[in-house]
Chain A
Amino acid sequence: MTFSTEQSITFECETGNYHTFCPISCVSWLYQKIEDSFFLVIGTKTCGYFLQNAMGVMIFAEPRYAMAELEEGDISAQLNDYEELKRLCLQIKKDRQPGVIFWIGTCTTEIIKMDLEGIAPKLETDISIPIIVARANGLDYAFTQGEDTVLAAMAHRCPDSKDIADVCQDQVNLRPDLVVFGSMPESVVNQLTYELDKQNINITGWLPSARYSDLPVIQKGSYVVGVNPFLSRTATTLMRRRKTKLIGAPFPIGPDGTRAWIEKICKIFEVEPKGLEERETEVWNSLRKYTALIKNKSVFFMGDNLLEISLARFLIRCGMIVYEIGIPYMDKRYQGAELALLEQTCINMKVKVPKIVEKPDNYNQIDRIRDLQPDLVITGMAHANPLEARGINTKWSVEFTFAQIHGFTNAKDILELVTRPIRRNNNLSELGSQVYSTAD
């Protein structure tokens, strides 16, 4: 096991044998976010089984999603894809009357080269419901990147200024538009909007919006900024296809990240940030109860949801020592500002810059965890119980994607999650041995 000794980030790439959720899981939060949507996952029983089990009780609440389960006749092209999809979409239209239908392509549609992008426009006019195609498959993407493929596809559908030509030009303020991208619960949208509002910066639109019919206007020359680290494709699409300007900022996770995010936006709009330092200090003060618990404790990110860099940066600022940042995919350009803040945070906190391991190998990681005995491992459910049985504290990584972690207000929620195993240990200290494993 080697540590990087320099004060600059080292990147490694392993075998890609790691556990993560299939990107079609994005359906579970996106159908809730986009209220008039219906998600049709075109795949096999395997996809359906995953969604049904991963979504737990949500499945029983008549969700606005379904599988178009491919049968042998579909695979061998004995059935006509267009006719089959038409039949299903008409049924969805009849039963649910959605404002938009998303087709989620899967591994199988990739392999049999089903031309979803080709079929969609034709069917769209036939049944007069917009159909958006996103290829969120496990051949190419991991977990949260599913949302990225959906938002990238939606970016094409955002109305242009041409579409709103009747809006009086004189109403357009002097400042260019600012569109924020990334799916957030409504309360987080409001909180971040409020924070920018205080700096006198107005968010003109949010991708995605709560309803498909309210997609934001995106004009050439508009500014766009991301709230989540896994949205590289969306950023690329907005820049290249919609000719917008990307504000490269750290992500608003933790009070440090939120402040840096706002400051960067202020800088672009040439606004002197007001009261941000006080706001940040105030939040840090309110977190003392938690930071005291984790100061100088070590953490190991196995890597499965792409939030890892931002979370590691925040936890280092909280006083933790990060041994390893595993991550499925590392876009050094899109995450550039976040990486720079990570480096700076390490210098400020006087700790070594952790090694970033892209496409990690879980087997090797568990070997390293055995050697390092970190105080906390942030990992998927496949490894959590076995590690706990070996006396290693774990936090289930997927919770970070479902909890509200953005902005000043929610920094506490991140630390609630991170400190939970440590607080639990304090409660259970009388039980004695923490090792329950029967093997090795």
Chain B
Amino acid sequence: MKLAYWMYAGPAHIGTLRIASSFKNVHAIMHAPLGDDYFNVMKSMLERDRNFTPVTASVVDRHVLARGSQEKVINNITRKDKEEKPDLVILTPTCTSSILQEDLQNFVSRASIETKADVILADVNHYRVNELQASDRTLEQIVSFYVSKYKKLDLLNLEKTERPSVNIIGIVSLGFHSQHDLVDLKRLFNDLDIEINQIIPENASVHDLKNLTQAWFNFVPYREAGLLTAQFLHDEYGIPYVDKTPMGLINIKETVISIQDLLQKFGCHRDYSDYLTVQTKYISQAAWFSRSIDCQNLTGKTAIVFGDSTHAAAMTKILAREMGINVLWSGTYCTHDAEWFRLQVESLCSEVIITEDHNVVGDMIAKTAPNAIFGTQMERHIGKRLNIPCGVISSPVHIQNFPLSYKPFLGYEGTNQIADLVYNSFTLGMEDHLLDLFGGHDTTEILNDTLSSSENITWSVEALKELSKIPGFVRGKVKRNTEKFAIKKRCSAIDLAIMYEAKEKAND
């Protein structure tokens, strides 16, 4: 048992439902007790979906406990088949059905005899995988099911498109700004003169999956969903894939270069270097922004990053390499992807944190006291408590993370959005300090912010006065550093001289 107040990634069935509800005309039936269909509320609320979420429950109640589901699941599947005429029904196990150990596969086989729809059982184990892993697996499962099916029927379209083309894999409902990202990805491929063969699973029809194999290559923008599918298509049909995330200028460049190299192998010679230069210099404002005088003030500012592996890694890169911000530490809750994440950010920050425990993250933030936080909704609230500004860069999401206006994180427009986000987070902090500077000094606060009460350190009146002139948001730090310095010098009274000396030698 684990005492838990908050979790970053949801239970496995949420991942399966996100994939199912992304496809067109796919219906998910959850084998679950009453109340477990909360997914419908989230989809309807957060995405403001105009349509009914295609998820129903085959309710597990007392009778099911006593006698087993018997015909109930099968009846629910065949009923949905008649009512909604879906192309595919996905029977979705939950934590409850995991331990009931009913032979759901048997229900699926029996139901599919009667239904027009295809029926599959989502292959996810509640106690082994989380939401993200489950979505990755379910997408692979659906794709491999249909690709194999069409292959058997000899309908699989293996002929490559005439011109270079790509499948975008992993645009999933309830994803962090993924609808906006998709628009920018389309623009990117259009600029690169690459046709988009298919986008899955968002708004895709399972019938079209027979043409998936026509693409020259696959593109997986997020690590959380799609890698297994790309791997499958690579292993079975030799389709190469690019799994770089075009978030931030450097990442976009790397992505485009990988695509260029890939096309080269197909004998298609493209040179995107001019395009990259023009975009970086003139279309995106982010590079110029980093150079502009405003951004100079960000030099040496500290930040921490926490989120899913895709966004946290990309954000760390942007802050460190594109904006010159000192990333104190960077972390992810995707513990299953720890190795990749470490490799990405190790060289860009002093410490890498891999944890699913928000308390650990909160403690780290309090301990390192960054100027700004880039994290999830949870870090936003930690920031509120500690009075540190926070930009939200990753799931778990909140209704505020589904803005109506166009706010991609990927592509060149994404770089502008991120620059605004970073800049606004820090300016808020700056404004705060200006207020502090001109709105009068609160000297009482200084007295409570001492290094340690056991140390016998006294501040002279002049030194205290000088301390009060230091902007509020760094005052505590200056105070502690000065005290540390004084202790090192075996000096128990701090006057102006010691203060200045401490400041001079602080960087030694």
Complex: A79 Cα to B32 Cα, angstroms = 25
B41 is contacted by which of A108, A140, A381 (Cβ under 8 Å)? A381
B residues less than 8 Å from A436 (CB atoms): 50
For the complex, is A84 an interface residue (Cβ under 8 Å from B)?
A: yes
Q: Which residues of B contact A84 (CB under 8 A)?
A: 1
Contact with B along A80-108 (1 / 0, CB 8 A): 00001101100110000000000000011
Q: With A383-B52, A439-B51 as known contacts, state yes or no: A139 contacts B62, CB within 8 Å.
A: yes
Is the C-beta of B451 less than 8 angstroms from some C-beta in chain A?
no
B11 interface residue per 8 A CB criterion? yes
Which residues from A are CB-within-8-Å of B34?
A: 16, 18, 20, 22, 138-139, 141-142
Inter-chain contacts of B94 with A (CB < 8 A): 46
Q: State in angstroms the CA–CA spacing of A52 and B378 once bound together.
A: 11
Q: Which residues of A contact B52 (CB under 8 A)?
A: 366, 382-383, 386
- Given A16-B59, A49-B11, A382-B37: A72 touches B3 (CB 8 Å cut-off): no
The answer to whether B353 has its CB under 8 Å from any CB of chain A is: no
Q: How far is the CA of A382 from the CA of B126 in the complex (A)?
A: 24
CA–CA, A67 and B7, complex, Å: 10
A108 to B185, CA, bound (A): 43
Q: Which of B21-53 contact A (CB under 8 A)?
A: 32-38, 40-42, 44-45, 48-53
CB pair A50 B38 closer than 8 Å: yes
Within 8 A of B (CB), among A1-51: 16-23, 42, 44-46, 48-50
16 example contacts (A-B, Cβ-Cβ < 8 A) are as follows A46-B95, A49-B10, A53-B41, A54-B38, A59-B5, A60-B378, A63-B5, A68-B1, A71-B2, A85-B1, A92-B3, A107-B60, A108-B96, A139-B60, A140-B61, A385-B49
Binary B-proximity of A55-82 (CB < 8 A = 1, otherwise 0): 0000110010111111110110001000
- Determine whether the beta carbon of B35 is less than 8 Å from that of A67: no
A280 beta carbon closer than 8 Å to chain B: no
Interchain CA distance A389-B38 in the complex, whole Å: 20
Task: Please list the residues of chain A having a beta carbon within 8 angstroms of any beta carbon in chain B.
Answer: 16-23, 42, 44-46, 48-50, 52-54, 59-60, 63, 65-72, 74-75, 79, 84-85, 87-88, 91-92, 107-108, 110-112, 137-143, 363, 366, 380-386, 389, 436-439
Q: Mark B4-24, 1 if CB is under 8 A from A, else 0.
A: 111100110110000000000
A138 to B36, CA, bound (A): 8
> Nearest chain-B residue to A85 (Cβ)?
B1
A222 CA to B375 CA, complexed, in Å: 56
User: Is A143 a contact of B35 with CB atoms below 8 Å?
Assistant: yes
The answer to whether A49 and B14 have CB atoms under 8 Å apart is yes
Which residues on the A side are within 8 Å of B99 (C-beta)?
Answer: 75, 108, 111-112
Contact A66 B51 (CB under 8 A): no
Give A85 to B156 CA distance when docked, in angstroms: 55
- Provide the B72-108 mask, 1 if CB < 8 A to any CB of A, else 0: 0000100000010000000000111001100000000
* A75 touching B4, Cβ below 8 Å: no
Q: B381 at the A/B interface (Cβ < 8 Å)?
A: yes
Verify A139–B1 contact, CB threshold 8 A. no
- Complex Cα spacing A143 to B35, Å: 8
Q: Quick check: A389 and B51 within 8 Å, CB to CB?
A: yes
* B56 touching A17, Cβ below 8 Å: yes
Give A71 to B32 CA distance when docked, in angstroms. 18
Residues of A near B53 (CB, < 8 A) are: 382, 386
Residues of A within 8 A of B130 (CB): 45
Note all chain B residues with C-beta closer than 8 A to A111. Answer: 65, 96, 99-100
On chain B, the residues within 8 Å of A49 by CB distance are 7, 10-11, 14, 38
Most chain B Cβ neighbours within 10 Å, of A18, A44, A59, A141: A44
Residues of B within 8 A of A382 (CB): 37, 40-41, 44, 52-53
Interface: B127 (CB within 8 A): yes
- Assess whether B61 is in contact with A139, with CB atoms less than 8 Å apart: yes
Contact A44:B95 (CB < 8 A) given known A17-B59, A52-B7:
yes
Q: Which of B52, B65, B83 has the largest number of chain A CB atoms within 10 A?
A: B52
Asked if B457 is at the interface (CB within 8 A of a chain A CB), the reply is no
Residue from B11, B56, B127 in contact with A71 in the complex, judged by beta carbons closer than 8 Å: B127
Q: How far is the CA of A383 from the CA of B13 in the complex (A)?
A: 20
Chain B residues lying within 8 Å of A48, measured Cβ to Cβ, are 4, 7
Instruction: Report if B57 contacts A (CB, 8 A).
Output: yes
The 9 nearest A-B residue pairs measured at CB:
A22-B35, A138-B33, A382-B40, A389-B50, A45-B11, A44-B95, A60-B381, A84-B1, A138-B35
- Contact (Cβ within 8 A) A46 B11: yes
A273 to chain B, nearest CB (A): 41
Sample of 10 more A-B contacts, CB < 8 Å, known A54-B41, A437-B50: A22-B38, A44-B11, A44-B95, A65-B5, A68-B1, A71-B127, A111-B99, A140-B61, A142-B35, A385-B49
Which of A23, A66, A74 sits near B3, CB closer than 8 Å?
A66
> Is A66's CB under 8 angstroms from B4's CB?
yes
Quick check: A67 and B4 within 8 Å, CB to CB? yes
Residue of A nearest to B398 (CB): A56
* Chain B hits for A439, CB < 8 A: 50-51
Chain A residues near B11 (CB, 8 Å)?
A: 44-46, 49
Q: Report the bound CA distance from A63 to B6 in whole Å.
A: 11
A79–B2 CA distance with the chains assembled, in angstroms: 12
Residues on A with beta carbons closer than 8 Å to the beta carbon of B45: 381, 385
In whole Å, how far is A317's beta carbon from the nearest beta carbon of chain B?
Answer: 31
Give the complex CA separation of A46 and B96 in angstroms.
Answer: 9
Q: Which of B226-249 contact A (CB under 8 A)?
A: none
Which one of A20, A65, A112 has the greatest number of beta carbons of chain B within 10 Å? A20
State the CA gap A89–B15 with chains docked (Å): 32
Kindly report which residue of chain A lies nearest to residue B13, judged by CB atoms.
A46
Instruction: Point out the residues of chain B lying under 8 angstroms from A54, CB to CB.
Output: 38, 41
Say which residue of A16, A69, A71, A385 sits within 8 Å of B50 (CB atoms): A385
Q: Are A72 and B127 in contact, CB atoms less than 8 angstroms apart?
A: yes
Q: Is the CB of A386 within 8 A of B44?
A: yes
Query: B14 contacts which chain A residues (CB < 8 A)?
Result: 49
Q: Using an 8 Å CB-CB cutoff, how does the interface string of B418-458 with A read, 1 for contact, 0 for none?
A: 00000000000000000000000000000000000000000
Q: Is the CB of B44 within 8 A of A107?
A: no
Within 8 A of A (CB), among B375-422: 378, 381, 384
> Is A88 in contact with B1, judged by CB distance below 8 angstroms?
yes
Say whether A363 contacts B61, CB under 8 Å.
no
Q: Across the interface, which residues of B come within 8 angstroms of A366, CB to CB?
A: 52
Q: Looking at the assembled complex, report how far the CB atom of B438 sits from the nearest CB atom of chain A, in whole angstroms.
A: 32
* B1–A137 touching, CB < 8 Å: no
Q: For A42, what are the chain B residues with a Cβ–Cβ distance below 8 Å? A: 1
Q: A383: nearest residue on chain B (CB-CB)?
A: B52
Instruction: Output the least CB separation between A116 and chain B (Å).
Output: 13
**A437 to B83 CA separation, bound complex (whole angstroms):** 19
Residues of B within 8 A of A16 (CB): 34, 59, 61
Least distance between A401 CB and chain B CB atoms (Å): 14
